[in-house]
Chains A and B, each alone.
Chain A
Amino acid sequence: MTHAPNVPKMNTLFRLQFEKAQGCFVLLYPEGMVKLNDSAAEILQQIDGLTSVDEIQHQLQQKFPQAGDIRDDIEEFLATAQAKRWISYV
């Protein structure tokens, strides 16, 4: 099922990268850093401004078949990410 707004994109204020010293992915922004847990990092890595939430779910489901139904987790995280202005919708 498709419903708008459906394609998330990263806010250009934030840069996602792996930090060896932290042992995790982080979001970097002016003078600040947020450490991400594994699932948040997995979801954010799928966001490219082209891929829809449905497709992101599909890709992650394939990557982690043992995880079960992850739709709610993804939507919950995306809502948080939007509230924090990490992402917006195309």
Chain B
Amino acid sequence: MSKDAHVGPPLWLLAELTYECPLHCAYCSNPTDLGKREDELTTEAWLDVLTQARELGSVQLGFSGGEPLLRKDLETLVEHGRQSGFYTNLITSGIGLTEKRIKQLKAAGLDHIQISFQAADPELNDAIAGRGKAFDQKLKMAEIVKSEGYPMVLNFVISRQNIEQIPQILELSCQLNADYVELATAQYYGWAFDNRDHLLPTQQQLRHAEATVNGFRDQQDNAGPQFIFVTPDYYEDRPKACMNGWASTFLTITPDGSALPCHSAKILPLDFPNVTEKTIADIWHKDFSFNHFRGESWMPQPCQSCDEKEKDFGGCRCQAFMLTGDMNRTDPVCSKSDDHHLITEAIEQAKNPTAPLKHRKRVADIALMKL
């Protein structure tokens, strides 16, 4: 394909090892259909994925999920990733981590650990996570991660559930001596999309939170954690440059081996390839689904004639699909979109949620709880 000439390597490889997770956060962006554990890729298949992607030029490797610690072969995969030259990132809830495992992972060559927190105190944290004692465990593990010499990133998904705690979150991050702290407002995919009315902060809450973070940053004097505040695109006039452009930089492999240009693309009406059936090079450079939204020729109006199309690439395909039912449309976040009213309606709707909050759980688990 002629489009192919400009395609660089998938610099970022996200290995979603399992969708199993000990937490039940309502903001989770995993698919609401979590699949079956039996369908997960084998150790050998993952090793092969890492080798192939590295040869293609991938350099950042994220082990994610669900909770990647639930895979007993994590150390094996980390070791192979590191030896192949990847910068290896573990993205974890901290649940299931032990001092022994932190040391084993270090010995295997793990470069960095990112721990998620749900709030700055045990009560709220454990209520959001749907699991008792989660906060204490995270705290303990964060201390050991630092004492073992890892760079540590803390990730707080910010929503209406915890946005009033920003000052305490900033303080906790300093106490734990984090290197980077992501204050990322929830993105409305997967479970979070279903729970949007409960999660989306008001514009006033957001402005206040952002001002608090900026004020804190100003008095930091180039010391302590670096705070990164990510606002939700629902309050922007232009869409986010989703994944830096479709299949330009990111490659996600899901637990069952599906290859995706982003972690939520599986919802789209496109057939995505599987690493057990095709090579990574073929997937990245030749697959119909990966080429489908590359470049500009697919773009509808108003994107096609917009002078900002090279900045945001028409926004997020998943968001266009979830909100309008058509993945080919302009992201409704854009104020130029004919569908932009869907966003203003969503903001209005979130002021009075009608459906109950849905904690992330397996259907089988829910059935069990009803018994």
Binding site for B on A (CB under 8 A): 12-13, 15, 17, 19-22, 26, 28-33, 83, 85
Contact = CB atoms under 8 A, between A and B. Distances in A.
Contacts of A19: 57, 59
A73 to B, nearest CB: 24
9 contacts: A19-B57, A19-B59, A22-B57, A28-B59, A28-B111, A30-B180, A31-B60, A31-B89, A33-B11
Contacts of B56: 21
A29 B62 CA distance: 12
B-side interface size class: 20 to 34
A30 to B, nearest CB: 4
Nearest to A28: B87
A46 B349 CA distance: 59
A30 B112 contact: yes
B87 A29 contact: yes
Given A13-B179, A30-B112, A21 B149 contact: no
A7 to B, nearest CB: 20
Contacts of A85: 222
Given A17-B85, A29-B87, A30-B180, A12 B59 contact: no
Interface string B222-244: 10000000000000000000000
A83 to B, nearest CB: 8
Contact of B149 (A12, A15, A26, A31): A12
A33 B59 CA distance: 9
Nearest to A83: B222
A21 B87 contact: no
Contacts of A29: 87, 112, 151
B158 interface: no
Q: Find the residue from B9, B57, B60, B87 having the highest chain A CB count within 10 A.
A: B87
Given A28-B111, A30-B153, A15 B59 contact: no
B254 interface: no
Nearest to A14: B151
A55 B256 CA distance: 53
Contacts of A13: 151, 179
A85 B226 CA distance: 11
Interface in B159-199: 179-180
Q: Find the residue from A15, A21, A30, A85 having the highest chain B CB count within 10 A.
A: A30
Nearest to A13: B151
A77 B62 CA distance: 31
A30 B179 contact: yes
B229 to A, nearest CB: 16
Given A12-B149, A30-B89, A30-B180, A21 B114 contact: no
A85 to B, nearest CB: 8
Given A21-B56, A30-B89, A85-B222, 5 more contacts: A21-B59, A28-B59, A32-B60, A33-B11, A33-B59
Given A13-B179, A28-B111, A21 B85 contact: no
Contacts of B111: 15, 28, 30
